[in-house]
Structure 1
Amino acid sequence: MIIKGIKRVIFSGVVLSTLVSSSLAQENKQKQIADSLAFLKTFNVKMPIVKTPVFKQDTFDIVKYGAKPDGVSLNTNSINQAIDACHKNGGGVVVLNEGVWLTGPLYLKSNVNLHLRSGALLLFTTDKSQYKLIEGSWEGKPAVVNEAPISGYNLENIAITGAGIIDGNGDAWRFVKKSKLNESQWKNLVASGGVVDKDGSKWYPSASYQKGYHIKDATVIKPGTKPEDYTELKDFYRPNLVVLNSCKKVLLEGVTFQNSPAWNLHPLMCQDLTVRNILVRNPWYAQNGDGIDVESCKNVLIEGSVFDVGDDGICIKSGRDEAGRKRGMPTEEVIVRNNVVYHAHGGFVIGSEMSGGARNLFVYNNSFIGTDIGLRFKTTRGRGGVVEKIYIANTFMKNIPGDAILFDMYYAAIDPVPMAGEERAAPKVEFLPVTEATPQFKDFYIKNVVCIGAEKGIFMRGIPEMNIQNINLEDITIKSKIGIELIEATNINLKNIHLVSDQTNPLILVENSKQINISGLKSDTEIQNLITLSGDRTEAVSLTGPSVITAKDKVKFNFGAKPKSLKINK
């Protein structure tokens, strides 16, 4: 009788738990719909419909093809045979059950769902001879690379799903900067082997890597050569963990992707990509250890995911310089919602390789906690490309070491936050001719941002021949050391900006910019200098609202800026 009673109690608990889970799921779904409708209404936009893959229910257990979950046996052939058999059968699900599955490179096939059940750890071998040198892509340009641990080319209807973990064993590939480790960590790393640079600032996994690092354009394939001609520098050519090139209807769901040699996830020229409820992890010292880099893709949904990585978290790209412009494929029709980014160089990022352009990006309900920069938009001369029609709402940030919101057209491929004691000179300002290599940032609409703790609230820096243009920020609350800096910017509209800034001398700097409209400004700190206007090209700056009634006594004009360039309205 007691046993029966226990069974009834347990059964009731299961039913109750199921009902609660179902209720919460329905509540969350209703909230997501409401949030989406509110976003559409706010910006009067139409978001894309992203198609998802559908698979046959047939399952293919990799054990039946000889795979062993002992962490020692190399299962490359077994897993690839299961994928191939599934594909030839018309598709289905290739299943990895619990265990440690050591493997070399895996090649996805159309209509195949690679599914990792809870407890499954797919671990990629550190034996670099298992990875072929191929012609691939590195930071937006054609390049020599080692093939990715997981790759797919020209496929349709593919997925990586489940609750398991995919580990790229990236520490075997990466170099490490001493400045990113504490003394004990650095000593242990050096003692593990590898090579230390002459100046003692960097550790390399091998002499081959060190040699490649110090050769300019070492990844570029020279005319008349083949990838196998670069074997001497093989260690230097770090692969991205997952590369999906020219694929349609792709789903990445539930899985943890971690410890990548370079970027974790690199969908390139894909269409209808869904990324849902994944976890992406890399150590913070992982150079180029981005979370996801969506490059020249169309119809993309990234939602409900968590990123904690060594470089940019969620990043939009479209090729680099002439190669990207020649490809001419923007990243467009992208939804990014309900994600959390912890450590990263940037939470949501566009660039700097955006030479094919980006447009119609819809970003809302995301949180950034401890990212170097929050919203990060970066480019430089030579890129070209137009980034436009970017819509962002409901962004929540905490403990941002750098800028909460950054637009920078002088990207210099260095860490966004200087190390202690590091000094960086401002870029040289000069007018250059406008060409196809001149980048553009325009038509951004950003609403409802809260940031508690940043070095700088808002930073915009364009170039003289192509200002950052038509940037609209509304309902922004930022607690930061420094307020707002606008440099080489045109038609910037700041409405209902609430600043809690340690440095109010000045609270706002406007340099060589025009058509700057600031209304509804509020500051919780005593203002020494509300606004400084600098440069003889500054004009048509407008301040409106009760907080600026006494602003006439708190305005400065430097380096040729004229009093007539500023209008103060009650």
Structure 2
Amino acid sequence: MKNLVFIVTCTLVAGSCFAQARSFFNVLSYGARADGRTMNTRAIQKAIDAASDHGGGMVLVPAGRWVTGVLRLRSNVDLRLAENAVLLGSARRMDYGPGSASALIVADSQQNIAITGRGTIDGQGPLLIKDIYRMLEAGTLQDEEWKTYNPWHQMRPEERNRPKLIEIRHCQGVVVKGITIRDGLCWIQNYKSCSDITIDSIQVISNVMWNNDGIDLVDCRKVRVTHSFINADDDGICLKSEDAQGRCEDIYIADCTIRSSASALKLGTVSHGAFSNIRVRDLKIYDTYRSAIALETVDGATLEDIDIRNITATNTGNAIFLRLGRRNRRAPAGKLRRVYIGNVHVEVPAGKPDKGYEMEGPPVDEPHNIFPASITGLPDHPVEDVTLEDITVIYPGGASKDTAYRCPDSLYLVPEREEAYPEFSMFGELPASGLFVRHAKGLRFKKVRFIYKREDFRPAFVLDDVSGLVIERN
């Protein structure tokens, strides 16, 4: 048996012992070459398979530039990227499959898997998108959307033609730690129906293309996301529920820095199952186009028992957005309840917060003043039991009736839009400058402050169809 080094150790993967007798499998021993040109898919996969067949071990990718296509992680394998190791995703679209594009690194129904080290996974998005466009122009790749209108006024191939970088499905015991992930063309990391996940001390830097969510947790349980930096063109850290029988549950997010051309922290938009017991602590957010905090259930999910504390957001377009809608007409309306948000400081600019980034969020076409924070339900399905405590939002002020005007006496003109995509600008011009609330009950506001750099003609609060409201100054 070649190139095996045994050490006695115990590495904790999401609370369990990963392996006690660890073996190292160096990809060099399986024919891989770090010249930035050689396609190493087969060689790296051989190392992964050998490690798994041996009962587990560490697959070492040394320093260098290693080009690869799709890699499949297997149980009890730690893919370790050494410092200065760069795993380069192929810049050829067909290396991700002839149909829907596979992610670069995938795993399905495995246990105790890890991607660790100080190296980088680079999706080579700028080169890969050129190959995708070349194929689309030649008619060798089918795509119905790439030339259709979208809010960005740009060509955007369908998601199925743009590979994710990491996609982990139905796995238990997942660790992603220390690495840098950059320049993907779709969701950077997608964890679907997994449990016992630890994501720690990673960097995500990807502004190449839209739908570049930094981290997506879809119907996952027992998750910790800590000490990480996210700079993404789409949502920073996003929880979703695609399965009506699934749920995001027991999730802890803390000590992260996020920059986004969408929302920094989002629960939803996809929201079919449930979200519960979500705790968030100590986030720093900057240059973010949409909301610092967005909690959205529009497809029937129950979203409850959410505790968010210690959020600082600068140059961010919206502070807090809570929305209960009914986009999915085939399911009953969901529930949004038992939410605590405390110790939040947000500075909202007069201009576009992500202006100048490679891919900005889509501008709002209609004239508008600065949008307030909002909590909105439906007429017969209110948002329930929300506490906002120690909240400070600094607004630029300077609203003008010549730009847009919605009189507080004409609230019936504010559309319900129960089937619309949820985002902070969805209702158009609103009559409040600080917080707009509609269809809610059991609200408690304590030490909620709105500060304006210039005068704003709109009232700070506008509440419509609200019951059980308690406001405390101290």
**Which TM-score bucket, shorter chain as reference?**
0.7 to 0.9
Q: In the alignment, which residue of structure 1 is the partner of 2:65?
A: 100
Aligned counterparts of 1:206 and 1:335: Cα–Cα separation in 2: 46
Q: Secondary structure at the match of 2:114?
A: strand
Identity %: 27
Please report how far the alpha carbon of residue 281 of structure 1 lies from its aligned counterpart in structure 2 after TM superposition. Answer: 1.2
- Aligned 1:151-166 pairs, distance under 5 A: 151-166=106-121
Q: Closer, same or farther in 2 for the Cα pair 1:172/1:466, shift >3 Å?
A: farther
Aligned counterparts of 2:158 and 2:288: Cα–Cα separation in 1: 32
Q: Closer, same or farther in 2 for the Cα pair 1:442/1:101, shift >3 Å?
A: same
Aligned counterparts of 1:336 and 1:365: Cα–Cα separation in 2: 8
Q: Closer, same or farther in 2 for the Cα pair 1:173/1:506, shift >3 Å?
A: farther
Alignment match of 2:259 (pick from 322, 338, 342): 342
Computing the radius of gyration over CA atoms, which structure comes out larger, 1 or 2?
Answer: 1
Contact 1:273 1:299 in 2 (8 A): yes
Please report how far the alpha carbon of residue 76 of structure 1 lies from its aligned counterpart in structure 2 after TM superposition. Answer: 0.4
Contact 2:255 2:282 in 1 (8 A): yes
Please report how far the alpha carbon of residue 379 of structure 1 lies from its aligned counterpart in structure 2 after TM superposition. Answer: 3.5
Q: In the alignment, which residue of structure 2 is the partner of 1:148?
A: 103
- Aligned 1:532-543 pairs, distance under 5 A: none
Aligned counterparts of 1:255 and 1:214: Cα–Cα separation in 2: 32
Aligned counterparts of 1:209 and 1:470: Cα–Cα separation in 2: 50
Which deviations, in whole Å up to 9, do the C-alpha atoms of 1:118-175 show, x marking residues without a partner?
11010011222222256xxxxxxxxxx311110001111110000111011233555x
Q: Secondary structure at the match of 1:80?
A: helix
2:295 counterpart of 1:377: yes
How does the TM-score come out when normalised to structure 1?
Answer: 0.65
Please report how far the alpha carbon of residue 456 of structure 1 lies from its aligned counterpart in structure 2 after TM superposition. Answer: 4.4
Contact 2:221 2:249 in 1 (8 A): yes
Contact 2:41 2:68 in 1 (8 A): yes
Aligned counterparts of 1:498 and 1:234: Cα–Cα separation in 2: 43
2:373 counterpart of 1:449: no
2:444 counterpart of 1:493: yes
Q: In the alignment, which residue of structure 2 is the partner of 1:114?
A: 79
Which deviations, in whole Å up to 9, do the C-alpha atoms of 1:238-285 show, x marking residues without a partner?
2321111111111000001111121011111111000000001111x6
Q: In the alignment, which residue of structure 2 is the partner of 1:558?
A: none
Deviates more, 1:463-472 or 1:57-66: 463-472
Which deviations, in whole Å up to 9, do the C-alpha atoms of 1:89-135 show, x marking residues without a partner?
1111101111110011000010100000111010011222222256x
Q: Secondary structure at the match of 1:346?
A: coil
CA RMSD of aligned residues (A): 2.7
Aligned length: 394
Which deviations, in whole Å up to 9, do the C-alpha atoms of 1:515-568 show, x marking residues without a partner?
232221xxxxxxxxxxxxxxxxxxxxxxxx8xxxxxxxxxxxxxxxxxxxxxxx
Please report how far the alpha carbon of residue 406 of structure 1 lies from its aligned counterpart in structure 2 after TM superposition. Answer: 0.6
Contact 2:300 2:326 in 1 (8 A): no
Aligned counterparts of 1:304 and 1:58: Cα–Cα separation in 2: 28
Please report how far the alpha carbon of residue 207 of structure 1 lies from its aligned counterpart in structure 2 after TM superposition. Answer: 5.3
Task: Give 5+ residue unaligned stretches, structure 1.
Answer: 1-48, 135-144, 175-188, 196-203, 217-232, 413-431, 521-544, 546-570
Please report how far the alpha carbon of residue 341 of structure 1 lies from its aligned counterpart in structure 2 after TM superposition. Answer: 0.2
Aligned-partner residue type, residue 448 of structure 2: I
Q: Closer, same or farther in 2 for the Cα pair 1:206/1:170, shift >3 Å?
A: farther
Aligned counterparts of 1:168 and 1:133: Cα–Cα separation in 2: 18
Contact 2:217 2:240 in 1 (8 A): yes
Q: In the alignment, which residue of structure 2 is the partner of 1:474?
A: 389
Question: 1 or 2, which has the higher helix percentage?
Answer: 1
Q: Closer, same or farther in 2 for the Cα pair 1:193/1:349, shift >3 Å?
A: closer
2:465 counterpart of 1:512: yes
2:379 counterpart of 1:464: yes
Please report how far the alpha carbon of residue 294 of structure 1 lies from its aligned counterpart in structure 2 after TM superposition. Answer: 0.4
Contact 1:53 1:158 in 2 (8 A): no
Q: Secondary structure at the match of 1:499?
A: strand
Contact 1:52 1:273 in 2 (8 A): no
Alignment match of 1:359 (pick from 264, 269, 276): 276
2:394 counterpart of 1:439: no
2:308 counterpart of 1:392: yes
Aligned counterparts of 2:322 and 2:144: Cα–Cα separation in 1: 32
Q: Closer, same or farther in 2 for the Cα pair 1:208/1:307, shift >3 Å?
A: farther
Q: Closer, same or farther in 2 for the Cα pair 1:374/1:80, shift >3 Å?
A: same
Q: In the alignment, which residue of structure 2 is the partner of 1:38?
A: none
Contact 2:287 2:315 in 1 (8 A): yes
Aligned-partner residue type, residue 345 of structure 2: V
- Aligned 1:190-269 pairs, distance under 5 A: 194=133, 211-213=143-145, 236-269=160-193
Aligned counterparts of 2:141 and 2:324: Cα–Cα separation in 1: 31
Q: Closer, same or farther in 2 for the Cα pair 1:115/1:150, shift >3 Å?
A: same
Aligned-partner residue type, residue 275 of structure 2: A
Aligned counterparts of 1:58 and 1:118: Cα–Cα separation in 2: 19
Task: Give 5+ residue unaligned stretches, structure 2.
Answer: 1-12, 149-156, 350-369, 398-432
Question: 1 or 2, which has the higher strand percentage?
Answer: 2
Aligned counterparts of 1:148 and 1:443: Cα–Cα separation in 2: 36
Aligned counterparts of 1:161 and 1:458: Cα–Cα separation in 2: 39
Q: In the alignment, which residue of structure 2 is the partner of 1:51?
A: 15
Which deviations, in whole Å up to 9, do the C-alpha atoms of 1:444-468 show, x marking residues without a partner?
0111111123544521122223121
Aligned counterparts of 1:193 and 1:237: Cα–Cα separation in 2: 8
Please report how far the alpha carbon of residue 194 of structure 1 lies from its aligned counterpart in structure 2 after TM superposition. Answer: 3.7
Aligned-partner residue type, residue 373 of structure 2: I
Where relative contact order (Cα < 8 A, 6+ residues apart) is larger, the structure is: 2
Aligned-partner residue type, residue 500 of structure 1: I
Q: Closer, same or farther in 2 for the Cα pair 1:235/1:437, shift >3 Å?
A: closer
Please report how far the alpha carbon of residue 347 of structure 1 lies from its aligned counterpart in structure 2 after TM superposition. Answer: 1.3
Contact 1:151 1:244 in 2 (8 A): yes
Please report how far the alpha carbon of residue 437 of structure 1 lies from its aligned counterpart in structure 2 after TM superposition. Answer: 3.4
Please report how far the alpha carbon of residue 343 of structure 1 lies from its aligned counterpart in structure 2 after TM superposition. Answer: 2.6
Aligned-partner residue type, residue 450 of structure 1: H
